[in-house]
Chain A
């Protein structure tokens, strides 16, 4: 016969109460999130409905288009919505993609080193340092970039010949892909390292010991067993880093340059010195236009795209993690 569980002290219904309160909180949070997504989407809708899919396509000068949109809001004449965001999207892809690829490789090796190879005293130092780096506000990275990295690129790396070759179109002053990608990599790598090393640490010790007992050397064991079983954590860390990189605005507004220009890899090496402006900094730089109806619709449509891409990445990460659950460590 089943016995009903009665707590020894406290009111009988206290756990039910907790359940309800927490449930209400969760519903509230989810509701808030949905409300936010819906608001952003509705406010951005006019821009999408006027441009259709050509919103995402190249065409014309995106800065001129933004200017037209804002002016039409001030003059009170018919609103202009024409907006082709490709240069901004391309810049986001280049900067985020470049930084995530670099950070993934670097963070993986650092995490393996911290967990498997570093002596205790060293990983005791590295661990908190990495955690701290992961939580440094991005504006500080931006400041260091402006004061140190940008002048170095502009004055020492870019040659006069390269500058003259694009004179009048863009300025190669150091505000560049290179600066943005470098600093973004430094910014997101610690986040990845701390999640990767948690994953590597939670690999079942028996699996590693078994491999070592069979005479497999340490590096191979780590690589084939440790890193493989930690793949779900690696994906989780990468997804978080991608989300942070896509949404990064302040640091990129300071370093990436301010032109809606699509850097062209076909230009050769000069391509990494070219300025561009990703989606998130575009919102920051034009936040002033929020009061003009077409301007606000355009900014909110950019916000919608950012929200949806972040959501897509976290969903894709969730699917990939589920598929890899059989490999063990979460």
Chain B
């Protein structure tokens, strides 16, 4: 009797695990945390408006981990926020859309403008007091950054720190959300985070070399805003062996007007999408 009911329960569970419709496909991806908000919005729109039979699962485990997943076949695609490295052999990078890395300070800080050099010096431990940078504060700077797992970290390392390691007084946190949280809570903090994280009243983004961190300033070419970057889709091989449905989605994401709207709304900057 008990065995029978157990068997029934097992069958029911197995039934639940099978996707509702047989023709539906699910593409599995992983990678960049920075790309996640935009990608999730794109996935949702695509499944809802374009092809209800295509579903996506995306695990935001960090850009570098995502590339590894593609290399060893656990993911069919990965999001990444940095340009290819020699260790990414066997993968293809496709530009998806753009993102700007903003430098954020707490709302208590009246500073509005900062240069790349100053940012470099803060994160290298050379400038330690806000009075050396400007603004109203005369307190010690609390620089906040990402740990080495993030594509955001790599981008910041390349774009600001000239590949020099951050100083020991930089507090390296495990997620972009934690960086934003730290800046919101600490009047003396400075941190970096993508456009999708902006818009809170408890912190504000600084102009870099006089250019504000806004979507409309992060144009495609030439890259005027110093901390603008492409977010990449990483595919295995030369990118042509991937499933047709996935390639179709990528094409839609890169070119259609609707995808452009979704990207802007989710905090990214469309790079190639048709304007109308």
Contacts and interface: CB of A to CB of B under 8 A. Distances in A.
A binds B: yes
B86 interface: yes
A160 B187 contact: no
A288 interface: yes
A214 interface: no
A258 B146 CA distance: 10
A286 B147 CA distance: 8
B186 interface: yes
Contacts of A292: 87
Interface string B224-244: 000000000000000000000
Nearest to B65: A288
A316 to B, nearest CB: 33
Nearest to A259: B168
B146 to A, nearest CB: 10
A169 B217 CA distance: 36
Given A74-B85, A151-B185, A164-B129, A257 B171 contact: yes
Contact of B147 (A74, A150, A151, A258): A258
A163 interface: yes
Contact of B168 (A74, A76, A261, A286): A261
Contact of B64 (A261, A285, A288): A288
Interface in B171-212: 171-174, 178, 181-182, 185-189
B266 interface: no
B174 A254 contact: yes
B172 A154 contact: no
Given A173-B171, A285-B174, A64 B165 contact: yes
A164 B143 CA distance: 14
Contacts of A160: 139-140
Nearest to B165: A67
A70 to B, nearest CB: 7
Interface string A65-99: 00100100011100000000000000000000000
B142 interface: yes
A171 B139 contact: no
A155 interface: yes
Interface in B63-83: 64-65, 68
Interface residues of A, number: 41
A241 to B, nearest CB: 25
Most buried by B among A75, A146, A288, A292: A288
Given A74-B87, A160-B140, A258 B171 contact: yes
Given A61-B168, A168-B125, A147 B181 contact: yes
A100 interface: no
Interface string A273-292: 00100000000111111011
B165 A170 contact: no
Give the bracket for the number of chain B residues in contact with chain A: 35 or more
A44 interface: no
A196 interface: no
Contacts of A254: 174, 178
A175 interface: yes
A138 to B, nearest CB: 14
A163 B174 contact: no
A261 B65 CA distance: 27
A181 interface: no
B115 interface: no
Nearest to A148: B185
B186 A155 contact: yes
Interface string A227-262: 000000000000000000000000001100111010
A301 to B, nearest CB: 18
B169 A170 contact: yes
A292 B68 CA distance: 11
A147 to B, nearest CB: 7
A63 interface: yes
Given A254-B178, A261-B168, A288-B62, A151 B148 contact: no
B167 interface: yes
B63 to A, nearest CB: 9
Contacts of B186: 151, 154-155, 173-174
A167 interface: yes
A74 B89 CA distance: 12
Interface in B105-143: 125-126, 128-129, 139-143
Nearest to A166: B169
B269 interface: no
B133 to A, nearest CB: 13
Contacts of A286: 147-149
A275 B167 contact: no
Contacts of A258: 147, 171-173
Contacts of A291: 68, 87
B103 interface: no
B161 interface: no
A167 B128 contact: yes
Given A167-B128, A257-B171, A285-B174, A173 B165 contact: no
14 contacts: A63-B168, A67-B165, A74-B85, A74-B86, A154-B142, A166-B169, A167-B140, A171-B140, A171-B171, A173-B182, A258-B172, A275-B171, A285-B147, A286-B149
Given A171-B170, A254-B174, 17 more contacts: A63-B165, A74-B87, A151-B185, A167-B128, A167-B141, A167-B169, A168-B169, A170-B169, A173-B182, A275-B171, A285-B149, A285-B172, A285-B174, A286-B148, A286-B149, A288-B62, A288-B65
